[in-house]
Amino acid sequence: MTVSQFMQMALMDPKDGYYTNNNPFGRSGDFITAPEVSQLFGEMIGLWTIDIWQKMGEPEAFILAEAGPGRGTMMADILRTLLKLAPKMMAGMSVCLIETSDKLQKVQEDALSSFNVPLMWQSHLNDLPKIPLILLANEFLDALPIHQFVFQDGDWHERCVGVSSQGILQWGLVPTAMKPSLHANPQDGDIFEINTTAQTFCTDLSARLQNNKGAALFIDYGHLESSFGDTFQAMRDHRFVDVLSEPGKADLTAHVDFDPLMKIAKASNLTIKSTTQGSFLLAMGLLERAGRLGASLDVGEQKNIQNDVERLAAPDKMGNLFKVMAFAAEGIDPHGFD
């Protein structure tokens, strides 16, 4: 099978898939995502959402959607922020969680049911009602299956996963018609990754934003310019493990190549912005909010907040590796990208 089929199965198989059986996030899980580091992250995204809603002309009926919401922590922090700063916004708002894992849908329901807003779950973006949309996604694109292509003996091949005669998973290559085109000439062994699922998602999303108004914000690790490299990785218990060794037990991801996704949005005449997570969070007022949050706390708790801020925004932590990309319908200029 292709790497893409392997990744899809290992993560999403209805019986043995990683997201089917595990509760991967948080300190006790396999990895910690930004919303699980600190409430400050969701609060900054909440502020971004309010600004977009205002720039959309404060539509009464609209959807606030999140793709791949995990434990629902970011959405809970966003809804708390809206309730406090823009309660008017919540009157005509429906919250839609785009989630394929039944298990995680239940966890999200527990996290969000106390908020007095209509909640709905869908497995696909295309099933959302066609009204104005604000869509958010943190560490969603990296979980979508990638194809890998390997340059060998003067030609490109698709990378596959097979089973050896001893029953062990191993890599293989099959012929392909794909000819990845980059500025650099490929050398033997170069790997190029394509996330067709992410591209389809962005194609559908762009059409929707163009037709029904709205904006989208993606946060993920990856690169803003395409390049060669193998970024397929597996993580279990906060450690990198071999990608083929524990299918269904380890989280599989790949770095996001934002460049083709931005090109797709550009073709729909959307406004496109991108920057690093550190620069986005600082522009949204992370330091000011951290200062206010810490003002009434003791020194130990202030130190914890300071550590969380560093973890989210420092260049040697999540600040540079993670990128933020926004798409917006014509006339909406998203904040946070100065």
What does the binding site for ligand SAH look like in residue numbers (CB under 6 A)? 19, 25, 33, 35-36, 67-70, 74, 98-101, 104, 138-140, 143-144
End-to-end CA distance of the chain: 44
CB of 214 to ligand SAH, least distance (A): 19
Beta strands in 12-102 (DSSP E): 62-67, 93-98
Give the nearer residue to ligand SAH in terms of CB position, either 68 or 222: 68
CB of 155 to ligand SAH, least distance (A): 31
CB of 330 to ligand SAH, least distance (A): 27
CB of 14 to ligand SAH, least distance (A): 12
CB of 144 to ligand SAH, least distance (A): 6
Among the listed residues 308, 333, 303, 304, the one whose alpha carbon sits nearest the alpha carbon of residue 319: 308
Here the tokens at position 286 are 């992370």
Contact 275, 337 (CB under 8 A): yes
3-class secondary structure per residue, 199-258: HHHHHHHHHHHHHHCEEEEEEEEEECCCCCCCCCEEEECCEEECCCCCCCCCEEECCEEH
Here the tokens at position 251 are 């989280």
Give the nearer residue to ligand SAH in terms of CB position, either 121 or 327: 121
CB of 165 to ligand SAH, least distance (A): 33
Give the nearer residue to ligand SAH in terms of CB position, either 150 or 324: 324
Q: Give the alpha-carbon dihedral of 50, 52, 57, 63, to 10 degrees.
A: -80
Beta-sheet pairing, 147-152 with 155-163: antiparallel
The amino acid occupying position 272 is: I
Beta-sheet pairing, 271-276 with 322-328: antiparallel
CB of 312 to ligand SAH, least distance (A): 12
Give the nearer residue to ligand SAH in terms of CB position, either 12 or 191: 12
Here the tokens at position 325 are 């990309």
Contact 337, 281 (CB under 8 A): no
CB of 195 to ligand SAH, least distance (A): 11
In a 3-state reduction of DSSP, which class is residue 130? coil
CB of 88 to ligand SAH, least distance (A): 27
Q: Which long-range contacts (CB under 8 A, 24 or more apart) does 236-240 make?
A: 236/30, 237/30, 238/30, 238/31, 238/32
Give the nearer residue to ligand SAH in terms of CB position, either 156 or 258: 258
Here the tokens at position 41 are 């992250």
Give the nearer residue to ligand SAH in terms of CB position, either 36 or 190: 36
